Amino acid sequence: MGEILFVTGIGTGVGKSVVTGELARRLREAGRDVITVKLVQTGNVGRSEDLELHRRMMGGVRFPEDDAGLTAPQIFAFPASAELAARLEGRRVDLRRIVRSVNACARRHEIVLVESAGGLFVPLTAKTLAIDLAAKERWPVVLVTNGLLGSVNQTLAAVDALRRRGLAIRRIVYDWAPDVDPVIDADTPRTLVRVLRQWGIDVPVETLGRIDVPAEEPAVRKAEALRRYDRRRIWHPYASLKDPPPVRVAASASGTDVVLADGRRLVDAVSSWWCVAHGHNHPAIAEAIRRQSREMCHVMFGGFTHAPAVELAERLAAAAPRGLDRVFFADSGSIAVEVAVKMALQYQHARGRFRRTKMLALKGGYHGDTACAMALSDPDGMHTLFAGMMPRHFFADKPSVPFGGRWSNGAGDSIREAVRRHRDEIAGIVCEPVMQAANAMNFYHPNYLRLMRELADENDFVLVFDEIAAGFYRTGPRWAAEAAGVRPDVMTVGKALTGGHITLAATLASAKVADTISNGRPGAFMHGPTYMANPLACAAGVASLDLFVRSDYASRVKRIEGELRTGLAPARSLPNVCDVRVLGAVGVIEVRSMPTRADIDRVIDAHGVWLRPFANFIYSMPPLVSDTATVGRIVAAMLDLASAPPGPAPADPDFHE
């Protein structure tokens, strides 16, 4: 455990932030491992200006603890005492959180300088002053003073109060202040030393003199302004707006990297949620979007068609499993799933089977965040909050036989039983073929797909394969279902469809499904998104499919699979690891308990690799253009994180996908 020093002052405005930053700078130059913490920041939104000052004075260094919120655990907008600022926001200062944050920093650093809020007697809560917290935690004190009027009196009163509470005073720092008479400036430190000696107190009084504080860089100021507004007003995925997680400001991206506003580069180990297959800002796709923008950015698809839509439909039909040549364009993966389910229901309606209004899905699955897609996802997964509003479907057990495992005929009994019991109500079967992604990271045996195909054929169900995450070579072959050698009646695609450059998805159907719907009542398929077949997105999709055709992605993924399999194997011996599994360009380390946010951020910054673990899964789905060195960096980061001690178990599942 590192040493904790409480930097406080005789009042507000005496220069605690400058002194803290200067002490940290000197300690770093002396080779000491030092970090600073701002106890409570008021008068700011979204960031701590005092903490940023420390970092500039320390040479621009950043710590994982900064992004984890440990070095500025309490921030309030109103410029007042911590207690009042918190009360005006309907909150209170969380002293336990502050102490936990300080101790977390002390566990990883030799010295922690904790800058107080205001002076010794500033209220933190209705019952606790700053000096009370320091006394309770037994933090030794660095007391900051200056030569302004009354400072000797205030300094000696502070020393007396600290002694009464049994707090050790490591040093008194006399900070230079403008407009102080040189005579007073020279005499005040001597007077303090003389009186303290008369009191029998041997505490060094250090005079710093004038300190040049580096100005904040314009790019940094802009990034922090963005971060402040973002923190106040903008929701992020699966995040609180009251206490949001830290975010990094992305300035640009290219290839496998995201470039931050401060110039750091992070390897995007999750392909920005699995869609950036060809790398960020691929020139061919970006140029296709620019070229199309000069002709037409959008036109409604009701009553119009256009070349990019027709060309993309042709390319998709050629690339899809044989027979899936009827194309419905959607604007996101979730909507593509909604469309697929409506196709299944309209198909059964057209056949006169009006009771068939439910789908059969698999536990452990994930199909999106819109209402119908949530209803088809794992009923015990991340969407349980919305159970009351979602339609009820039928579920078979999560596939238990792993990909490459030994199949037993009984493994499919749950699916067979669900069909036996609900045959007359089931319109179709839906699954993520081979790879259940965002709810389970489960790679399962292809025989499950063969069984579902058999049951669909026997009962005239519509078989839907959701290839949004698994398609386009992510699991090895172009489509995950190829591992089973079966074809669905309906297939959804998205994510890598445009190479992650602009949102677009599609639902592909067989002639049988499309013709049945069209020949029934009302004949029309009842769905129509505003941005359906957006020309810019379709142009991006055409360029992306061209890249898939021109490049040997199957070989690339095979290489990545081998590198992930070999590189992640050592994780199996780690005490916090339950399992390690790899399929195609997907690598997963399942842990018993996720490491702390601070450890996650430490690993990200130390390796320059962006990871987004969720639940109990440390995983990577790297861009398919990742070379061996890039995969090696990703593997090293994953192993480092898996080696970290487990964090406390959350009260609720911490889903991030």
Token pair of 185 as six digits: 């400036």
Half-sphere exposure of 616 (CA within 13 A, CB side): 16
Consecutive H or E run containing 250:
strand 250-254
**Per-residue pLDDT, 209:** 67
Number of helices followed by number of strands (H, E) in the chain: 21, 24
Contact 470, 442 (CB under 8 A): no
**Per-residue pLDDT, 654:** 39
**Per-residue pLDDT, 370:** 92
Query: Across residues 282-302, what is the average pLDDT?
Result: 96
Residue of 136, 160, 229, 238 with catalytic role: 238
Q: Indicate the fold that domain 3-214 takes in CATH.
A: Rossmann fold (3.40.50)
Residue with tokens 């260094």: 61
**What CATH number belongs to 248-277+554-643?**
3.90.1150.10
Long-range contacts formed by 187-193: CB under 8 A, 24+ apart:
188/145, 188/146, 188/147, 188/151, 188/152, 191/152, 192/145, 192/152, 192/155, 192/156
Strand ranges, E, within 363-481: 394-396, 426-431, 435-436, 442-443, 462-466
Task: Write the pLDDT tens digit of every residue in 464-518.
Answer: 999 999 999 999 999 999 999 999 999 999 999 999 999 999 999 999 999 999 9
pLDDT at 653 over 50: no
Comparing C-alpha atoms, which of 535, 501, 497, 500 is closest to residue 293?
535
Residue of 16, 342, 363, 495 with catalytic role: 495
Give the Cα separation of 311 and 391 in Å (integer).
36
Domain layout of the chain by residue ranges: 3-214, 248-277+554-643, 283-550
Quick one: DSSP state of residue 372? H
* Amino acid sitting at position 572: R
Consecutive H or E run containing 599:
helix 597-607
Q: Please state, for a pLDDT cut of 70, what percent of the chain lies above it.
A: 95
**Per-residue pLDDT, 656:** 37
Report the chain's mean pLDDT, rounded to a whole number.
92
Query: Across residues 621-633, what is the average pLDDT?
Result: 97
Name the band, by pLDDT with cuts 50, 70 and 90, for residue 185: low
Phi/psi class of residue 3: alpha, beta or left (left: φ > 0; alpha: ψ in -120 to 50)?
beta
Under DSSP, is residue 537 helix (H, G, I), strand (E, B) or coil? helix
Task: Write the pLDDT tens digit of every residue in 299-329.
Answer: 999 999 999 999 999 999 999 999 999 999 9
Query: Across residues 626-640, what is the average pLDDT?
Result: 97
Contact 120, 131 (CB under 8 A): yes
Name the band, by pLDDT with cuts 50, 70 and 90, for residue 193: confident
**Per-residue pLDDT, 264:** 87
pLDDT at 383 over 90: no
Comparing C-alpha atoms, which of 398, 400, 369 is closest to residue 382?
369
Q: Chain centroid to CA 81: how far?
A: 33
Whether 238 sits among the annotated catalytic residues: the reply is: yes
What length is written for the chain? Answer: 657
Residue with tokens 């932030």: 17
pLDDT at 222 over 90: no
Q: Please state, for a pLDDT cut of 90, what percent of the chain lies above it.
A: 72
**Per-residue pLDDT, 508:** 98
Task: Write the pLDDT tens digit of every residue in 250-271.
Answer: 999 999 999 998 888 999 999 9
Range of weakest confidence among 187-191, 280-284, 574-578, 621-625: 187-191
Which CATH architecture group holds 283-550? 3-Layer(aba) Sandwich (3.40)
Give the Cα separation of 65 and 107 in Å (integer).
11
**Per-residue pLDDT, 657:** 41
pLDDT at 611 over 80: yes
Quick one: DSSP state of residue 502? S
This prediction has a pTM of: 0.72
Query: Across residues 359-388, what is the average pLDDT?
Result: 90
Strand order in the sheet with 617-620: 577-583, 586-591, 617-620
Give the Cα separation of 142 and 152 in Å (integer).
16
Quick one: DSSP state of residue 352? T
Q: How many CB atoms lie within 10 A of CB 137?
A: 16
Q: How many CB atoms lie within 10 A of CB 481?
A: 25
Range of weakest confidence among 237-241, 473-477, 608-612: 237-241
Residue of 331, 466, 599, 605 with catalytic role: 466
Task: Write the pLDDT tens digit of every residue in 141-180.
Answer: 999 988 777 788 888 998 999 999 999 999 999 877 666 6
Concatenated DSSP letters of 139-183: --EEEEE-SSTTHHHHHHHHHHHHHHTT--EEEEEEE--TT--HH
CA angle, residues 610, 611, 613, in degrees to nearest 5: 160
Contact 137, 98 (CB under 8 A): no
Residue of 174, 347, 366, 473 with catalytic role: 366
Give the Cα separation of 169 and 107 in Å (integer).
23
Torsion angle (degrees, nearest 10) of CA 272, 273, 276, 277: 140
**Per-residue pLDDT, 212:** 66
Name the band, by pLDDT with cuts 50, 70 and 90, for residue 651: very low
User: In the 3-class helix/strand/coil scheme, how is 60-118 assigned residue by residue?
Assistant: CCCCHHHHCCCCCCCEECCCCCHHHHHHHCCCCCCHHHHHHHHHHHHCCCCEEEEEEEE
**Per-residue pLDDT, 598:** 85
Token pair of 542 as six digits: 């055409």
Query: Across residues 227-234, what is the average pLDDT?
Result: 85
Query: Across residues 459-463, what is the average pLDDT?
Result: 98
Residues pairing with 250 in the sheet:
260
Tell which wins on pLDDT, 104 or 48. 104
Residue with tokens 């060195």: 629
Name the band, by pLDDT with cuts 50, 70 and 90, for residue 49: confident
Consecutive H or E run containing 493:
strand 490-493
CA-based torsion, 75, 77, 81, 86: positive or negative: negative
Comparing C-alpha atoms, which of 370, 371, 377 is closest to residue 389?
371
Tell which wins on pLDDT, 24 or 68. 24
pLDDT at 450 over 70: yes
pLDDT at 650 over 90: no
Phi/psi class of residue 193: alpha, beta or left (left: φ > 0; alpha: ψ in -120 to 50)?
alpha
Name the band, by pLDDT with cuts 50, 70 and 90, for residue 72: very high
Q: Which residues contact 222 (CB under 8 A, 6 or more apart)?
A: 261
Tell which wins on pLDDT, 41 or 533. 533
Query: Across residues 31-53, what is the average pLDDT?
Result: 87
Under DSSP, is residue 567 helix (H, G, I), strand (E, B) or coil? helix
Residues pairing with 42 in the sheet:
76
